[in-house]
A and B are shown apart, each in its own frame.
Chain A
Amino acid sequence: MILVCGIPSETSIVRLAQALEQLGASWFMLNQRRVSQSAIEIGVSAAAELEGTLEHDGRSLALNEITGVYLRFMDDRFLPEVRDEPLQSHTRAHSRAFHDLVPQWAEVARARVINRYSAMGSNYSKPYQLQLISQQGFSVPETLVTNDPERVLSFRAEHGRVIYKSVSSERSIVSELDDEALSRLHRIRWCPVQFQAYVEGDDVRVHTIGERAFATRIRTAATDYRYARRQTGAEAEFEPFDLGAELADRCVALGASLGLDMAGIDLRVSPEGEAYCLEVNPSPVYSYYEAQTGQPMAIAVAEYLMGRGETLTGRTAARTQYQNSTKAAVPDSLTVR
């Protein structure tokens, strides 16, 4: 049984639902907007390592029957059914507890999960994630995080075109360090800011799903293609892109090293053909790219959740680092999915 968690009308879920139907999968929609008709019980006991039941919309499901999970909850505080509730209301408390427990169970469930919350954390710090990416053999943009304006000026003199963006996963518009931005440079003394050498080339978004990779090239003159119209007045253009076997394999390995069963890897491919990895999105909206190009990602997600193909997420970067540093054998019992 495959469990799909989120808002049924959300595009990624609509497409996944269609794919699961097309493939004849046994699946169950956990509509978080019906949280008041939902309950979960989880048990750890001498008799069972992990067991429990999920009640939803009049149906009851044994947690041990679930072998695949697509976990895409929106922040439950903003659900229309919850947002206007008083702080101490039963509805709000029930919703909070339910939305806490489902991911807790998914964290340790012996199921394929796209994605566990623990794996979705690496991009909370972009330079931290960049270190993990670099350890996987990818070129990364030259990056400086500093609160020293003079150091920034030296960095710009060395690299020419420089962009700046947030250090954390707070969404920010990637912007170029131009003369106007330089006039505000003294403000960085209060909190270090991330600067990067601009890498010329085309943006390529790679979605890895298990051991498969789908690459989409985005052509635009904008610094940040998500804001192409705002920055250039023209929409970005999307097309399927051939990564080649070696780079595709490296992308799959990168996603797996971060513990991500599905990842959105942002590459910039230079005119010389060198692929730089800018960052990895742990909660990619694949449907946007699928709609632009027709690449069959929803089917791939469905097939993966149905148990087809290999799962590679057994070795997270932290696990690899732990093993390298302690020479300890890391049991696979947590990673059998």
Chain B
Amino acid sequence: MWLIVCSSVDHSALWMHERLQARARAPAALLLVEGLADVRIRWRHAVGRSGTSVTLRLPDGNEVSSAELRGVVNRLVTAPLVLLDAVEPEDRDYATNELTAFTASWLHALAPTVINAPTPHGLVGRWRLPLEWRVLGRRSGLRTPDLHLTCTAPGDVLSESDQPSTTLLAIDGHVFDQRASSSVQRAVARFSAMAETRVLGLRFEGEDPSANGWSLLDATPYPDLTLAGDAGVEALEQALTG
């Protein structure tokens, strides 16, 4: 069974769930973060000699168990922090850290394949700053616009956000755009490998990236999953199947 873990307002993840269900290569269930904000859920997450496991017993009596999951599409950007509404203000930071740390661990243990896997720098995959994306882009062979950062004028990157740009979906190093040449595809494969992130949104300069020499601005581990249509769904299926 596959599981999509996301928020109820993550429309592209909900769309992906529908498409995976419709294609029926494997049963695809949905777990909403809003549903996790319920103290009646019983959590059991074990690590030890016999490996790792996670079981959630839901209020309706159903269980979500790592023993039954082959793959997870992870779209959790935050832990279910609504749970902490009742926490005293002086304990809130501590409780937030505890809940986020717990969420990272159970997500990591939920299935043999979790895409994107949680990291210490983002539950949904590693977030990076523009400098890192640009250097990774350069090292992978993509063009990137110049970047200049100083501790006295941090505005360079902010000013770029108004420029026209195009975000493309990349899964396991393949970017879904027919205009991408084989050399661009190879560079994206290197970029994805160096970023250690299986699903990425790559943001290129201009409305037509090919007309701008495939100049990479930055990337995100939390892209719109509808960007590549059914080709993206098929690629994600393959990634989940491993």
Contact = CB atoms under 8 A, between A and B. Distances in A.
B135 A98 contact: no
Given A148-B43, A170-B98, A104 B194 contact: no
Interface string B90-108: 0000110111111011101
A128 B113 CA distance: 15
Contact of B48 (A143, A169, A330): A143
B47 A140 contact: yes
A101 B99 contact: no
A187 B67 CA distance: 28
B196 A44 contact: no
B132 A104 contact: yes
Contacts of B126: 118, 318
Contacts of A97: 150-152, 154
A294 interface: no
B214 to A, nearest CB: 14
Contact of B134 (A38, A44, A126, A151): A44
A145 B135 CA distance: 39
A40 interface: yes
A35 to B, nearest CB: 9
A147 interface: yes
A75 to B, nearest CB: 14
Contacts, number: 205
Given A128-B101, A169-B97, A39 B193 contact: no
B174 to A, nearest CB: 10
Contacts of B49: 139-140, 142
B49 to A, nearest CB: 7
Contacts of B152: 39, 94, 97
Interface in B105-137: 105-106, 108-109, 113, 117-121, 126, 129, 131-132, 134-136
B42 interface: yes
A131 B105 contact: yes
Residue from A38, A40, A325 with most neighbouring chain B CB atoms (10 Å): A325
A319 B136 CA distance: 14
Contacts of A190: 39, 83, 86-87
A41 B52 contact: no
Contacts of B136: 108, 334
Nearest to B95: A191
A191 B42 contact: no
Interface string A94-109: 1001101100110110
Interface stretch (A45-53, A173-181, A212-220, A249-257): A45-53
The DSSP consensus for interface residues of chain A is mixed
Interface residues of A, number: 66
Contacts of A191: 83-84, 87, 95, 98-99, 102
Interface residues of B, number: 66
Contacts of A329: 193
B87 A124 contact: no
A94 B150 CA distance: 10
Given A141-B48, A168-B97, A331-B193, A128 B104 contact: yes
B144 interface: yes
Nearest to A43: B148
A108 B105 contact: no
B102 A127 contact: yes
A44 B44 contact: no
Given A40-B151, A127-B102, A131-B47, A49 B97 contact: no
A130 B47 contact: yes
B150 A41 contact: yes
A127 B47 contact: yes
Contact of B148 (A41, A134, A170): A41
A42 interface: yes
A148 B44 contact: yes
Nearest to B147: A44
Residue from B51, B146, B192, B193 with most neighbouring chain A CB atoms (10 Å): B193
B114 to A, nearest CB: 9
Contacts of B132: 104, 107-108
A77 interface: no
B74 to A, nearest CB: 13
A263 B51 CA distance: 24
Interface in A25-81: 38-46, 49-50
A142 to B, nearest CB: 4
A328 B170 CA distance: 14
B149 interface: yes
B70 interface: no
Given A49-B138, A125-B102, A189-B39, A331 B45 contact: no
Interface of A: 38-46, 49-50, 94, 97-98, 100-101, 104-105, 107-108, 118, 121-122, 124-128, 130-131, 134, 139-148, 151, 166-170, 189-192, 197, 316, 318-319, 321-323, 325-326, 328-331, 333-334
6 contacts: A40-B151, A42-B131, A104-B132, A125-B105, A143-B48, A148-B44
Given A128-B104, A141-B48, 5 more contacts: A43-B146, A125-B102, A127-B47, A148-B44, A190-B83
